[in-house]
Amino acid sequence: MNAPLYSQLPSHPVDLRSDTVTRPTPAMYERMLEAPIGDDGLDGDPSVAELEQDVAARLGKECGLFMPSCTMANLVAVLAQSNRGEQVVLEGTSHMYTSERGAATFTNLFYVGVPGQDGAMDLNRLADSVQSGGHKLPTALIAMETTHNNAGGTVLPLDHMQAVHAMGQERGIAVHLDGARLFNAAAALGLPPAEITRHTDTVSLCLSKGLSAPVGAVLAGPRSVLDRARTLRRMLGGTQRQSGLMAAAALEGVRTMGDRLSEDHVRARRLSDGINALGGPIRATSPQTNIVQIEVGATKMSNKEWVAALEAAGLRTRPWANTRLRCVTHRHTTDADIDAAVAAFRQVLASI
């Protein structure tokens, strides 16, 4: 096995579909080769245990739990903190609400979407939604998301998070943070992740996005909740065996990859500036982190046609919502890639 070979992406086409395309680093492969492993479904896996403890400590929580995906981590966080017939209240464009509907169908709970701005829920609407009585159900959980994927990688202000957490605490409602890209939020704020996760009871962290691990997520929070979560993970089939191999790569990711994420943020800004400097009918959002959305609704092409045309010009993107594209910068994105991406937009614009 030649580890560095698999640690790179092909340089062409430039792939900005997602930060999930990141490959494990050579150091991750080395750690995987040397990682002590066991059976996490039998009597434990030492590398998984090390990852769970490391992430919990990093996020200022009592316990961590290695999960196969962030989707399952969010589902387990909900199930571990709710009873049938209750509701989950969350921002109306959040990933858990819009993209984890399938998971929601397994919960026997009602999900209430609250309108927000840049991913932050309107606090009056939130306060209204968590009142019980009448048609309203008891609220089991309030969930936040930072960075906020659909809002374009925006970072929740800490005073907003504090206000939401306080509202939960006053009413005895647990608060969960979908922190799939938590480390990007921490990089943008220039703070350790624990300064963000102070304002939540439980948090999920995706390992396979900017942190570059091959798979997985960690759910962290209080021991009482995590004990239930461990049982639920087994019920869902999420208990894995020699998963220390994956945990070892993830451990390298959480220890070393957070500090470099601000490079991705600089390149996202460079992409946005480059696209906006082209003029014409398309407009890029101003990124706070590594996600740029490009509005193409004023052109004669649909966003799916844009994706195909850009791909032919050497750039991979994804259609987003009705009239947008999404580009995400990551460890394999170079300055030259950004220039090539802007050139691809210029080429498609010139052809229409």
Q: Which residues bind ligand PLP (CB under 6 A)?
A: 69-71, 95, 145, 149, 178, 180, 206, 208, 217
Q: Shortest gap between Cβ of 71 and ligand PLP (angstroms)?
A: 3
Of 69 and 262, nearer to ligand PLP (C-beta) is: 69
The pair of three-digit structure tokens given for residue 198, joined into one six-digit string: 């102070």
Of 71 and 293, nearer to ligand PLP (C-beta) is: 71
Say if strands 120-121 and 116-117 run parallel, antiparallel, or are unpaired.
Answer: antiparallel
Of 119 and 274, nearer to ligand PLP (C-beta) is: 119
Of 69 and 302, nearer to ligand PLP (C-beta) is: 69
Of 246 and 344, nearer to ligand PLP (C-beta) is: 246
Sign of the four-CA dihedral 162, 74, 153, 130? negative
Q: Shortest gap between Cβ of 346 and ligand PLP (angstroms)?
A: 29
Q: Shortest gap between Cβ of 13 and ligand PLP (angstroms)?
A: 22
Q: Shortest gap between Cβ of 136 and ligand PLP (angstroms)?
A: 26
Residue 73 CA to residue 204 CA, distance in Å, equals 6
Q: What is the DSSP string of 152-187?
A: TSB---HHHHHHHHHHHHHHT-EEEEEETTHHHHHH
Residue 73 CA to residue 79 CA, distance in Å, equals 10
Q: What is the DSSP string of 36-59?
A: ---BTTTTB-HHHHHHHHHHHHHT
Q: Shortest gap between Cβ of 278 and ligand PLP (angstroms)?
A: 28
Of 205 and 275, nearer to ligand PLP (C-beta) is: 205
Q: Shortest gap between Cβ of 149 and ligand PLP (angstroms)?
A: 4
CB of 153 within 8 A of CB of 287? yes
Of 95 and 176, nearer to ligand PLP (C-beta) is: 95
- Closest residue to ligand PLP, Cβ-based? 70
End-to-end Cα separation, the chain, in angstroms: 46
The pair of three-digit structure tokens given for residue 85, joined into one six-digit string: 């017939």
Q: Is 321 helix (H, G, I), strand (E, B) or coil?
A: coil
Q: Shortest gap between Cβ of 153 and ligand PLP (angstroms)?
A: 9
Q: What is the number of residues in the chain? A: 352
